[in-house]
């Protein structure tokens, strides 16, 4: 069934609202055409009385309330209904919406449609229903107005004025938020509450709320260490995940900005449930932000090591690098000369056809672009990691938790667990009892680059200990 359109413009700031002036011909036919059964309600009414009653009926069916004044009714609607009633469009000027006749017609329409006037008790009951059926992260005023409007119509209760309905929606939104904050506060462990209280002091510490509000700046080793320290502190908070995980990203961002814009004194002045609730939401949102930033930094480090290593190797090889063209022709000439003189010496058979320097260039090109080149790049990457990035990666792994249900990725998960286990170890090799996953982690052609002989001459994975 098609929902009747609303012709009241928003936002609602006053009880009398500007009317939506333009109504399409299709909307006039679908929503403002008098049905045969409705003509019985009009009865023997004539002139302004007939037009006024028709306008009240069709407006009430669309809006769930009667117009407060004629300014609420689009002119197209008046002309359309005047034509249906066979009266002049100007007849509405002789029909006062606040006079006794209009009040009588309104009561007739209520009885005919099965609606009744609402009261304060109805408003409170409908607000309570709206609160019970609303999530805190979706309780915007427009959404609540639509929800309360639908409930009024479902219960066949005449809607209040737009201004009163908006105030009811604001009250419902505040109630939903207060109830959610109370649930958040009740779910916090005493230790977490104490930590939140400590964050709200005026003392400048790396883990104070003021420090957590500040972004760490450009990506660097120092900013990483700051972010890791913040994340360590945030992870020590026991936050109620069951209440926080379902919340939308937009709501979390809004709450984070709300706390960030407040001074510490303003945050401290909130009642306990609101104060604990706001700081909990802020900490949860900041945990996500810092985690995302550190993951991006980890990916950036891996990419930067590879790019820098390739650049250094390219610069080293550039002096003697020469790309050889026509490899297919050279191969054909070498094959033809070898077949013609199968027992001849290389310097007598091959060099006259291809040339010694050409063969040397081919060897250099392969070493620069094939496995030899990748080995050089890998060696440079290992050096960069062991002398600089190694200080960063263990810190990242100490605060990042990796998960995967994909069987194909389980070797990587095992490798990460092993890396974290040996973060503080000074041993060159992993323990003999450890199962070090190489398959699915290191490509087979590069596995020998991470292996080194131990004291017994057995190949072991080298942990790059200086």
| pLDDT tens column, 341-360 | 677 676 666 667 677 777 67
Residue 67 reports pLDDT greater than 90: yes
Domain ranges across the chain:
25-113, 120-187, 402-466
- Confidence (pLDDT) at 182: 96
pLDDT interval class at 463 (50, 70, 90)? confident
Cis peptide bond N-terminal to 11, omega within 30: yes
Backbone region of residue 64 per phi and psi (left: phi > 0; alpha: psi in -120 to 50; beta: other values):
left
Kindly state the percentage of the chain with pLDDT values over 70.
77
- Please tell me whether residue 200 adopts helix, strand or coil conformation: coil
pLDDT tens digits along 202-223: 777 777 898 888 887 777 767 7
- 313-343: per-residue pLDDT in tens? 666 655 444 454 555 666 656 666 666 667 7
User: Can you state the percent helix, strand and coil of the chain, rounding each to 5?
Assistant: 65, 5, 35
Taking only the tens place, the pLDDT of each residue in 222-251 is 778 888 888 889 989 999 999 999 999 999
* 171 confidence band (pLDDT: 50, 70, 90): very high
> Distance (Å, rounded) from C-alpha 393 to C-alpha 214?
23
Query: 201: which residues sit within 8 A by CB, 6+ positions away?
Result: 208, 264
Question: What pLDDT shows up at residue 362?
Answer: 60
Residue 388 has pLDDT above 70, yes or no: no
| Phi, psi values for residue 262, rounded to 5° | -85, 150
- Would you say 269 and 220 are in contact if contact means Cβ atoms under 8 Å apart? no
Tell me the pLDDT of the chain averaged across its residues: 81
Q: Phi and psi (nearest 5°) for 208?
A: -75, 160
| Cβ atoms 64, 8 nearer than 8 A | no
Q: pLDDT tier at 170 (50, 70, 90 boundaries)?
A: very high
pLDDT at 81: 93
């Amino acid at each position: 069934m098609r929902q009747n359109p609303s012709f009241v413009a928003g936002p609602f700031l006053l009880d009398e609202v500007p009317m939506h002036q333009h109504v399409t011909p299709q909307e006039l036919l679908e929503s403002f055409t008098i049905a045969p059964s409705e003509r019985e309600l009009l009865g023997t009414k004539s002139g302004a009385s007939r037009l006024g009653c028709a306008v009240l009926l069709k407006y009430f069916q669309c809006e769930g309330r009667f117009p407060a004044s004629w300014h609420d009714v689009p002119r197209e609607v008046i002309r359309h209904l005047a034509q249906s009633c066979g009266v002049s469009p100007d007849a509405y000027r002789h029909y006062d919406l606040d006079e006794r006749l209009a009040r009588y017609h309104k009561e007739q329409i209520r009885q005919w449609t099965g609606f009744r006037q609402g009261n304060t008790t109805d408003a409170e009951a409908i607000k309570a229903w709206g609160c019970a059926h609303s999530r805190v992260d979706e309780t915007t005023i427009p959404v609540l107005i639509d929800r309360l409007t639908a409930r009024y119509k479902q219960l066949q209760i005449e809607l209040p004025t737009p201004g009163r309905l908006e105030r009811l929606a604001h009250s419902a939104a505040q109630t939903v938020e207060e109830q959610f904050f109370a649930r958040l506060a009740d779910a916090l462990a005493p230790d977490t509450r104490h930590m939140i209280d400590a964050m709200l002091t005026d003392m400048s510490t790396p883990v104070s709320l003021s420090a957590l509000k500040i972004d760490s700046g450009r990506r660097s080793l120092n900013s990483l260490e700051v972010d890791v320290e913040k994340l360590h502190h945030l992870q020590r908070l026991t936050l109620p995940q069951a209440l926080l995980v379902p919340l939308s990203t937009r709501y979390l961002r809004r709450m984070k900005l709300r706390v960030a814009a407040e001074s510490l004194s303003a945050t401290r002045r909130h009642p306990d449930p609101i104060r604990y609730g706001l700081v909990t939401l802020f900490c949860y949102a900041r945990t996500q932000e810092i985690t995302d930033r550190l993951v991006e930094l980890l990916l950036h480090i891996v990419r930067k090591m590879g790019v820098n290593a390739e650049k250094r190797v390219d610069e080293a090889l550039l002096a003697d690098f020469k790309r050889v063209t026509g490899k297919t022709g050279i191969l054909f000439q070498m094959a033809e000369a070898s077949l013609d003189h199968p027992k001849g010496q290389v310097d007598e058979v091959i060099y006259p056809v291809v040339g010694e320097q050409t063969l040397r260039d081919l060897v250099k090109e392969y070493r620069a672009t094939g496995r030899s080149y990748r080995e050089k790049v890998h060696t440079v990457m290992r050096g960069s990691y062991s002398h600089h990035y190694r200080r960063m990666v263990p810190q990242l792994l100490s605060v990042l938790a990796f998960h995967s249900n994909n069987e194909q990725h389980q070797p990587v998960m095992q490798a990460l667990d092993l890396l974290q286990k040996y973060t503080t170890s000074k041993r060159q090799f992993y323990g003999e009892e450890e199962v070090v996953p190489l398959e699915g982690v290191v490509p087979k052609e590069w596995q020998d680059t991470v292996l080194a002989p131990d004291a017994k001459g057995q190949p072991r994975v080298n942990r790059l200990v200086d």
